[in-house]
């Protein structure tokens, strides 16, 4: 089993590639001519593909979650993640909602030491 590494942050538990089988790899546009015939343009998307890694029902220590939050807030340039033995060049996906989310395993003042349902959002380069 491989570890997941986000830039220089080595995670204790590997993350799942949540949208591996659900990514848009082709951009398409369709318009109709005056006679009703469709004009379709399509092109392969070489980069900028959304990549989501997450813990699903697993857990992540709050210390690692805090490191990732700090990294997402300070790193606006390209970096490498290592997942399943493959290196991928990415940036944090700040085009959507929060780039990193997670739920406390249990309610506790100051936050529970473990988080679940963690999701990290990236764009490939």
Q: Which fold has domain 5-124?
A: Elongation Factor Tu (Ef-tu); domain 3 (2.40.30)
pTM: 0.81
- The tens digit of pLDDT for each residue in 31-60 reads 999 999 999 999 988 888 899 999 988 889
Residue 41 to residue 38: CA distance in whole angstroms:
10
- Per-residue confidence at 96, pLDDT binned at 50, 70, 90? confident
* Burial 69-80, CB ≥16 within 10 A → b, else e: eebbeeeeeebe
């Amino acid at each position: 089993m491989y570890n997941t590494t986000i830039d220089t942050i080595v995670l204790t538990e590997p993350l799942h590639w949540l949208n591996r089988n659900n990514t848009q790899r082709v951009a398409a546009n369709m318009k109709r001519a005056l006679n009703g015939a469709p004009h379709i343009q399509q092109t392969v998307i070489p980069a900028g593909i959304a990549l989501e890694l997450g813990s699903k029902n697993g857990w992540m220590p709050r210390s690692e979650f805090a490191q990732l939050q700090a990294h997402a807030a300070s790193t606006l340039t390209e970096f490498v993640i290592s997942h399943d033995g493959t290196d991928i060049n990415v940036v944090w996906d700040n085009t959507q909602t929060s780039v990193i989310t997670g739920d406390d395993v249990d309610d506790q003042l100051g936050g529970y030491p473990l988080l679940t349902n963690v999701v990290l959002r990236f764009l490939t380069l």
